[in-house]
Amino acid sequence: MQVYDTTLRDGAQREGLTYSVADKLAVAKLLDEFGVGFIEGGWPGAMPKDVEFFRRAREELEFRHAILVAFGMTRKAGIAVEDDQLVRGLMDAQTPAVALVAKSDIRHVHRALRTSPEENLAMVADTVAYFVANNRRVFLDCEHFFDGFRHDPDYTAAVVRAGLDAGAEIAVMCDTNGGMLPSQITRAVAEVSARLAVSPDRLGIHCQNDTACAVANTVAAVEAGVRHFQGTANGYGERPGNADIFACVANLHLKLGMPVLPEGCLEQMVRVSHAIAEIANIAPDTHQAYTGSAAFAHKAGLHASAIKHDPALYNHIDPAVVGNDMKILVTEMAGRASIELKSKELGLDLAGRPDVATKVTEEVKQREAAGWSYEAADASFELLVRDALGTGSTPFTLESYRVIVEHREDGAVVSEATVKVRVKGERVIATAEGNGPVNALDEALRQALARHYPQLATLELADYKVRILEGSHGTGAITRVLVETVDSRGGDWTTVGVHENVVEASWHALVDALNYGLAHTPARA
């Protein structure tokens, strides 16, 4: 099975996505680590950036698994193949393999290329033969294959035949408009194979996701005998995107019993998926199949109760197989089993403490009804459980705080916070300014605690989110605040606070953040 990745070319057509040369090199290395067989690096004949990428790739990349492929098109009409500048650019890339896009829908031949059907067939045959003669492996991407096959199957089949007869290794059937369904793909593979009297393993599949069927269509083609499939990391691509190569690989391996990667590579899936998302500056899709952080997350209490006895009852695979983890979400839907499992996940065993598990369960339900949410705030939940167990610590207690927002004559807006706390029996007062009331509170609290807890200097507020929750029964709106904190060792945690007043909600989240940090950060000597 040939696993062909086109993240760096077709995937880069996603709206808002731009790779630098350094980005492309980094992504290529990750894809090779994942074990794909072919990496389409770009279009060197048309994109100056891609010329630089292929030059640097020759010097800097040493692949263990992948073969680098340069993408281009067949020669232009009326030009000898050796005189075509885009063809020359492909040759200059010096890759072992090339992918050539060709028009396989006769309507595109007439209206886009504005040439004759016969000339288009000659363009395909000439260009494929030229690269084969120059010791290149050739993949022929038959653009608009399925639309063309429905309109004029004889001509579309003739394009495939021209490429294969000229020496193309694979003729790739491209669902360029993304409008196909799995049953249509299955029929088309059988019809094309029969019409051309070729084995389906000489055919490939490339699916766009306009019907949300790109992965299903890819799997259907493989089940029909195709042995070359194309996709992109995380399904990146034009419009709704391409077939997600991670989901394709996982489905083939885990559902059809067709391992398509070298041994040990499948478990790298989540790491590679998220690393590529980071390079692309796109937040990983939480709910993405197999690789999303919520792919194996369970909220309902009935699910958790069953999972407590056997995780396989509600997981379609072992998450670890693809490098993921199961997690239990703590919400008002959680029963005692959910609380016990989530606590165990955090290193707190409640199995022998049903009284504590029941107490925490009721507390969570009451708090969730008031607007709290622990789904994304594991640190606050852990503190809640520790308090119920009697193992929680109180590094400081609040006496009072005050926040002033001052609009000055010069237009500057300055926030000032004063906090009064008791730390180890000592009353401490601290005042600090900030670029907002929450920042000022954070600075003042840290200042008050600094002498007793110098390790707080290693903690940093990384993100702050506010959500307004609608009130009910005539009450005002409720504010929920999430605070993300990071430490110098690379750890991160999220805490939550809820109140009608955004500053008070922020205070609760900040206090939890520092309490959690102090509980998990070694004290300085």
Return all residues near 175 (Cβ < 8 A) that are at least 6 apart. 145, 146, 185, 205, 206, 207, 208, 214, 217
Tokens of 255: 């559902």
C-beta separation of 191 from 160 below 8 A: no
Indicate the residue type of 340.
E
Return all residues near 436 (Cβ < 8 A) that are at least 6 apart. 415
What is the set of domains in the chain, with CATH numbers?
Answer: 2-280 (3.20.20.70), 297-384 (no CATH), 397-520 (3.30.160.270)
CA distances from 238 to 11, 20, 494 (A): 7, 18, 34
Q: What values do phi and psi take at 468, rounded to 5?
A: -95, 125
Output the pTM of the full model.
0.74
CA 120/CA 162 separation, integer angstroms: 10
Q: How many residues does the chain have?
A: 525
Q: What is the pLDDT of residue 373?
A: 83
Q: What is the pLDDT of residue 55?
A: 97
C-beta separation of 331 from 374 below 8 A: yes
C-beta separation of 196 from 157 below 8 A: yes
Q: What is the pLDDT of residue 46?
A: 85
C-beta separation of 167 from 203 below 8 A: no
Mean per-residue pLDDT pooled into runs of 10, the chain (525 residues): 98 95 96 98 92 97 97 96 96 98 96 95 98 98 96 96 98 98 97 94 98 99 98 98 99 98 95 93 92 83 57 83 82 65 82 85 84 85 90 90 91 93 95 93 95 93 86 66 91 92 94 93 63
CA 264/CA 105 separation, integer angstroms: 41
CA 183/CA 86 separation, integer angstroms: 37
Q: What is the pLDDT of residue 153?
A: 95
Residue with tokens 């391992």: 259
CA 279 to chain centroid: 11
Q: What values do phi and psi take at 423, rounded to 5?
A: -125, 115
